[in-house]
Structure formats: C-alpha cells, structure tokens
Amino acid sequence: MTAGAVATAWLRGLGSRELTAQRRLFVFPHAAAGASAYRLAAYLPDAVEVCTVQLPGRENRLAEPALTSLDDAVAALAPLIADHTDLPYAFFGHSMGSLIAFETARRLRALGTRLPDRLFLSGMRAPGLPDRDLRHTLPDDKLLATAEFGDVDAELQELLLPLLRADLTLCETYTHRAEAPLPCPLTVLAGTDDESVDGTELAGWREHTSADFELHLFPGAPHLYVRGAERQLAETITRTFPERG
C-alpha cells in the first residue's frame, strides 16, 4: 500500500476539499464508532477540510484487528498527521477520541511538528484521573447492558461488542505519563446530562495546557450528544478556530 493510500485509509476525507481548504479539522471518534458516525463536514464551511480518523476494525477496515493500545494508535496516527500540517489545523475528539487526540498532540510535539491551533476535547475526564468503573473485562451480557449504541438493532449490537471491548481496553489500560502542558489552547465540551463525567473531571483538563482554556456545556445533552448536535458543535468550533494561522 502506498503512503498516500495508508493516509487516506486512516484519515477519511483527506483531500476532499483540496481546492477550497484553508484549515483542517482532524476528528477522533468515540469507542465503537467509525468515521461515518460524524457528519461535521456538512456544517462547516468549505474552507475547512474535515479528516475523520478511521481506526482498524470498523466500517471499511472491518477485516483488520482493532487496536487495544492507545500507544499503538498514536504511533500510527502521529506520523500520518505530521505529513498533513501544511494548513492551520485543529483536533476534535469525543470520549475515547479525546484521549487519542490529546496523546497524538503530545507525540507531534515530541516529533517537532507544527502543533494544532486548538484541541476540542469532548465527553472525557482529564488524563490521570481514575476510571470510574472498568468495563473491558465484563462478560458479554453485562458489557452489552452498559453499551450506548443508540438506535442500533440488537443483532448489530452483538456484532459491535468485540469492537467496543477492544476500544474500552484501549482506554482503560491507558497510563497517563506526566509531561509539560501543551502550548495549544483547549476547549473542553460535554453535555450537561452526561453521567459519565462531571464538572471537576472536565475542569481537570486545564492543567494540561499553558494556553487558553474554555469549558463549554451543551444544555440537556447526554454523553453521545455529538449525534444530532453537529450544527451547534460546528458553530462552537468555528467560533474559536481562527480563520487564518
């Protein structure tokens, strides 16, 4: 597989707005989700090219084994993103995606690569805070009972269960390593009805940036607020993602 093919396999939407793009938004989905779960591109101006991370084990990469290590995911993603930092860019991650986005930014710093103009980190407690309830070792029936698959039918939920377990393993075996705060501004987002994270856990992200910090809550929204709130989310992103770098 050529380098270009590898990049487009991992970064869906890369090159989709080649003629109009002035900025790039890299999107990191939540556990058990693929790139098609996010429709932000439809609500963002043509000047923003949206590249959504497609991890192995889902959608068009279903035949590939899902990753169970955050370090492995970051090791694969960081060099690909480093090759596409010619435009001002930002990260948006939700839940598991927030952790991957954060660690990818730290890896890019270690590589000496241009860093994101801003990180939008959603629905996840700050790194270093303990997990509330470990789920990746639960029996199938109990894990399924905790899953948030939305409108997915029961048969498909069963098929998604191994992917969910792999993604939870990635998150719950992650060990935060202390480093200097990132110089990138952070916008932390969540729904006010998200029972998986509280205000203190969200505010904990503040210590991970030496730049601006903003906390934005979506009233009445649950954990998976992203689905159905793309317009409001896009407005929040464009409000704080500068027009030009």
d(CA 49, CA 117): 15
Nearest of 141, 135, 29, 149 to residue 77 by alpha carbon = 29
- At residue 136's C-alpha, the angle toward residues 132 and 138, to 5°, is 95
Tell me how far the alpha carbon of residue 78 is from its chain's centroid. Answer: 13
Burial class (CB in 10 A: 0-12, 13-18, 19+), 177: exposed
d(CA 85, CA 11): 13
d(CA 66, CA 207): 31
Tell me how far the alpha carbon of residue 187 is from its chain's centroid. Answer: 13
Q: Which residue type occupies 143?
A: L
Name the active-site residue from 16, 36, 69, 95: 95
95 is catalytic: yes
Strands 48-53 and 11-12: antiparallel
The secondary structure of residue 41, as a DSSP letter, is G
User: What is the set of active-site residues?
Assistant: 95
